[in-house]
Structure 1
Amino acid sequence: MAEYPTLLQTSLVATALKVLLWPAYRSTDFEVHRNWLALTHSLPLREWYHEKTSQWTLDYPPYFAYFEYTLSQLGRFADENMLHVSNLGYDSWNTIFFQRATVIVTEAVLIYALYLFIQSSPAASKKQSHAAAASILLSPGLLIIDHLHFQYNGFLYGILILSIVLARKKSGLLASGFVFAALLCLKHIYLYLAPAYFVYLLRGYCLGPRSIFDIRFGNCVKLGLGIGAVFALAFGPFVYYGQMEQVFSRLFPFSRGLCHAYWAPNVWALYSFCDRVLIYGKIATMKVPLKDGADLRLTAAPYLKLAIDRDAVNSVTRGLVGDTSFAVLPNISPRMTFILTLAAQIVSHPLKNAPRQQKLKPNIQTHQPALIKLFFTPTWHNFVSTLTLCGYASFLFGWHVHEKAILLVIIPFSLLALTDRRYLGAFRPLAVSGHVSLFPLLFTAMEGPIKVAYTVTWLVIVLLAFDWLAPASPQPRVFLLDRFALLYIAVAIPLMVYCSLVHQLVFGARYEFLPLMFVSTYSAIGVVGSWLGFLVVFFTS
């Protein structure tokens, strides 16, 4: 129990800082959630997924709508005017304080889940577990996204961690499945993690430990009925009203385009950057004959009018949500992103340095996709590792990925980073790139120094503490990965100086997407490098 007061004290200090930030910048997500409070409070349930007075229509699963309805019952005591659907953009001080307070209060779920994580850890790794828990609780990502930008990720990731911790013991597998099913009905982005849960629960709960042909029918029925009940409570009313097609059209709006308004740091950010480079490469080499027989190298403007669709040129840098098309490289369809995401989740990696007898007689330990490795070796460590790989795959290759979704990788990886020094080598570039990529979310003068100072402080303390606490690996470390991480972190400093100060001094308000492109591309290199490093460590362990 010694760890609990320390975690509680940490949370109290963090809460004090978050309360001080209540008057600070808030994004359109603040109005999104105010509108959801209003429509769930003012309208009958059958109209929730049809209401469109505001452009910020309800696009989360039903449990989150029920969550907003519950908050709205309390919100009427703070300011009833915020619960009118027609009051678009309403932001009285009482409204601000109420919504900010709900984020902090619901974050208690995260604190409780982290407490259980520490308590369930082996005695020999208590220090490491507490450090990992503190790093998540004090995460700059949660501070920026939830307590400034405005969302409820602390609450949602608390439920995810609770489900992961419950899965640590055989006796908690059934409850873990129920909790994760409830999480899916709160926010459907966690569907990307479902393959790891499916394999782990199938192998650990539905099948016997000695043979995969030993089917535990009783457990299968309990798990199936329980998860079915969770989904029935969420979607049942909308099935009754015949609205499932409308609900799913809100949950999966593929018309939003491949890239978000600001590129999430993934493979498609690098793809978009390459498209930008190729456009100007074509401009530099394109020539048109003049009447006197001379040639003239085209400038950008006439070339774009003659040879390239201007809408395609502007579509990925206009800062708007919508269809994404590329000027030079082939366009990407939702189906392609789904196939690539699935392939990345089941990617295999042969061990080149396997012993001779294993090379001559391959087995599942020398060449196996991540999900197959989890199926044949259903340990909790492999489960969390596979969850992390699923998070990587969805973030790197998914359709219309938000930069905020990087937490889907960082948080489960944080639970592993201190289990082996080789994992820490892959975690460092992710910690830097993932949090730096969130900086463009806060672009006002007051919040700029806050985000930089807090993130840099967190990175220095966490990475130094992790380096001190991480146990030595019984296997050789990856030399290139360590050197990549060091070089990558060093580049972050001049990049932030340029994007925060130099660009504005040199160009003023012109080329405003240029620093965004630099941050996104830099961060994408770090996330991809971290993913490759994680693959090497996972498949050689």
Structure 2
Amino acid sequence: MAESAITFPAASLRTVSASSLKQRDIPRSSKLSHSELQTGKPSWWSLRDISSSEWDLLVFSTVLKVLLFPAYRSTDFEVHRNWLAITHSLPISKWYYDTTSEWTLDYPPFFAYFEWLLSVPASIVDKRMVDIYNINYDSWSVIIFQRSTVIVTELVLAAALLRFTRGVVDPSTQRIISTSLFLHPGFLIVDHIHFQYNGFMFGILLWSILSARNGNLLSCGFFFAVLLNFKHIYMYQAPAFFIYLLRAFCMSPQGELLFARFLSLSNIVIAVFVVSIGPFLLMGQLPQLASRLFPFKRGLNHAYWAPNAWALVTTLDRILLKYAKETGMDIALNAEALASASRGLIGDTVFAILPNVKPIHTFIITLAFQSIFLVKLWKTPTYKSFLCALTLCGYVSYMFGWHVHEKAILLVLVPLSLLAAENHALFRTFVLASVSGIYSLFPLLFKPAVRRVYE
């Protein structure tokens, strides 16, 4: 049934009680819940209230993603298959110690538990999939299973976007934003071709942002704590969450600490971390867990350099090195840099002429730039200020962070999408950032491999 058929004028709702509406006045296919009678909006959680256009979008996106099943797969595909095998074949005490494959488990515990849950149906589909010694196993049973899990878990994102749409007075603009996020080229490239679970985890992020929009800040803190224990890359956005929740929830407008609220929020966050890392704390494995989660020896630049400040610095160092060689300039060169043909593809990024950059340097620079807009968030802890700070935290960490993956641009583009409709300046920024950000993901697509699949 069309949405207009179950929408009541606000004036009528104020004068007509729910009990006065007879059952015969409402078709069986559009019975309204109490909240719908109060707001005149369909509920987000009821399947019968999902419009035909929303069902069409879900079907279209699913068909598109299924068509991408034979597409190119990165090494991340084997990474996640190996994690299925690790969590299924080994006791939890050995998860973060196993080195059978080079693709060792290096995500936080919640994601390890997530892989363990997936390994149960995986072992039923194909037992060889969860054989820890069956390295680089890529039969069609594995391909179909793993790519299907990405599609299914992405429903977390779909539910959050649907809730965003249901919670606004004029849903037309929000429908466009939600649709653009659900069919985001970044998710199609990174998750459904390259292979990861970013749609699922950004769904959790959006549930946290949605809670902030609705004023449920305890839920906001809970969802973000859960997200951090799925993937620690979201630590880049933690300063915005910390400042916003502390200022908007734990403090009065006059700046007084509301201890009861602070305690309730702290207990929720601590409880999430206890559930996540508690078993490893009891086993005395926190140092090993930390070494897996924060491998600083991987170098300043990722394999395919993200277009950030350090890519420019690295390029400048290469230009200076070439100039020094051609002119015979009498300058001390770093011999280790001369021997490194990878220039950051493997191991540390070592400069030949410029001073080397250490993790502490990137941390200080990132925090310094973040503090500029975090101060504003502290002064005006509104939802819009929070969303702006969240976007800028992602952007600054992308520009100046250590070993930044090109996929981290999604930390900028997703929250920025929610701001795009605010005004023309933000929309223009969104367009420019989206075009350049998605273009920067193209190195993840290996053209010969993609062409060979579809020839």
TM range (shorter): 0.7 to 0.9
Q: Structure 2 stretches of 5 or more lacking a match?
A: 1-41, 43-48
Alpha-carbon deviation of 1:201? 0.8
The question of 1:276 aligning with 2:318 is answered yes
Q: 2:367 aligns with which of 331, 342, 353?
A: 342
Query: In the superposition, relative to structure 1, how do residues 4 and 324 fare at CA in structure 2: closer, same or farther (>3 Å)?
Result: farther
Distance 2:164 2:341 in 1: 41
Distance 1:265 1:135 in 2: 23
Q: 1:77 aligns with which of 124, 129, 137?
A: 124
Query: Which residue number corresponds to residue 134 of structure 2?
Result: 87
The question of 1:13 aligning with 2:60 is answered yes
Q: 1:233 aligns with which of 275, 280, 299?
A: 275
Deviation by residue 1:379-405 (Cα, 9 ceiling, x = unmatched):
111101000010011111010111111
Equivalent AA in structure 2 for residue 426 of structure 1:
T
Alpha-carbon deviation of 1:315? 3.6
Query: Which residue number corresponds to residue 251 of structure 1?
Result: 293
Alpha-carbon deviation of 1:195? 0.8
Query: Which residue number corresponds to residue 303 of structure 2?
Result: 261
Distance 1:425 1:242 in 2: 50
Q: 1:103 aligns with which of 140, 143, 150?
A: 150
The question of 1:136 aligning with 2:139 is answered no
Distance 1:70 1:195 in 2: 31
Aligned length: 407
**Stretches (4+) displaced over 4 A:** 2-5, 316-319, 448-451
Distance 1:158 1:287 in 2: 54
Distance 2:120 2:259 in 1: 43
Q: 1:35 aligns with which of 61, 82, 85?
A: 82
Query: Which residue number corresponds to residue 284 of structure 2?
Result: 242
Distance 2:149 2:66 in 1: 11
Distance 1:95 1:156 in 2: 22
Q: 1:192 aligns with which of 216, 229, 236?
A: 236
Kept after mapping to 1: 8 A contact 2:343/2:349: no
When normalised by structure 1's length, the TM-score is 0.72
Query: Which residue number corresponds to residue 205 of structure 1?
Result: 249
Distance 2:53 2:274 in 1: 40
Kept after mapping to 1: 8 A contact 2:158/2:203: yes
Distance 1:72 1:88 in 2: 16
Kept after mapping to 1: 8 A contact 2:332/2:353: no
Kept after mapping to 2: 8 A contact 1:316/1:326: no
Kept after mapping to 2: 8 A contact 1:106/1:155: yes
Alpha-carbon deviation of 1:448? 5.8
Query: In the superposition, relative to structure 1, how do residues 448 and 409 fare at CA in structure 2: closer, same or farther (>3 Å)?
Result: farther
Distance 2:274 2:314 in 1: 41
SS at match of 1:415: helix
Query: Which residue number corresponds to residue 379 of structure 1?
Result: 382
Distance 1:390 1:6 in 2: 35
Equivalent AA in structure 1 for residue 348 of structure 2:
D
Equivalent AA in structure 2 for residue 78 of structure 1:
V
Query: In the superposition, relative to structure 1, how do residues 287 and 108 fare at CA in structure 2: closer, same or farther (>3 Å)?
Result: closer
Alpha-carbon deviation of 1:346? 1.2
Relative to structure 2, which stretch is displaced further, 181-190 or 374-383?
Answer: 374-383
Q: How does 1:337-416 map to 2 (within 5 A)?
A: 337-347=362-372, 370-416=373-419
Q: 1:50 aligns with which of 97, 107, 114?
A: 97
Equivalent AA in structure 2 for residue 247 of structure 1:
L
SS at match of 1:327: coil
Equivalent AA in structure 1 for residue 255 of structure 2:
I
Query: In the superposition, relative to structure 1, how do residues 287 and 241 fare at CA in structure 2: closer, same or farther (>3 Å)?
Result: closer
Query: In the superposition, relative to structure 1, how do residues 449 and 131 fare at CA in structure 2: closer, same or farther (>3 Å)?
Result: farther
Distance 1:449 1:410 in 2: 31
Distance 2:309 2:182 in 1: 28
When normalised by structure 2's length, the TM-score is 0.86
Query: Which residue number corresponds to residue 152 of structure 1?
Result: 197
Q: 2:448 aligns with which of 445, 450, 474?
A: 445
Kept after mapping to 2: 8 A contact 1:7/1:134: no
Equivalent AA in structure 2 for residue 211 of structure 1:
Q
Kept after mapping to 1: 8 A contact 2:362/2:402: yes
Query: Which residue number corresponds to residue 435 of structure 1?
Result: 438
Distance 2:141 2:124 in 1: 10
Deviation by residue 1:83-115 (Cα, 9 ceiling, x = unmatched):
111111111111110001000000000000111
Kept after mapping to 2: 8 A contact 1:316/1:325: no
Kept after mapping to 2: 8 A contact 1:316/1:324: no
Alpha-carbon deviation of 1:307? 6.1
Equivalent AA in structure 2 for residue 283 of structure 1:
K
Kept after mapping to 1: 8 A contact 2:359/2:402: yes
- Supply the RMSD in Å over aligned alpha carbons: 2.0
The question of 1:121 aligning with 2:168 is answered yes
The question of 1:422 aligning with 2:425 is answered yes
Alpha-carbon deviation of 1:311? 4.0
Q: 1:322 aligns with which of 328, 347, 350?
A: 347
Kept after mapping to 1: 8 A contact 2:301/2:344: no
SS at match of 1:410: helix
Kept after mapping to 2: 8 A contact 1:29/1:151: yes
Distance 1:450 1:142 in 2: 20
Deviation by residue 1:439-481 (Cα, 9 ceiling, x = unmatched):
1111133526999xxxxxxxxxxxxxxxxxxxxxxxxxxxxxx
Equivalent AA in structure 2 for residue 40 of structure 1:
T
Alpha-carbon deviation of 1:284? 3.7
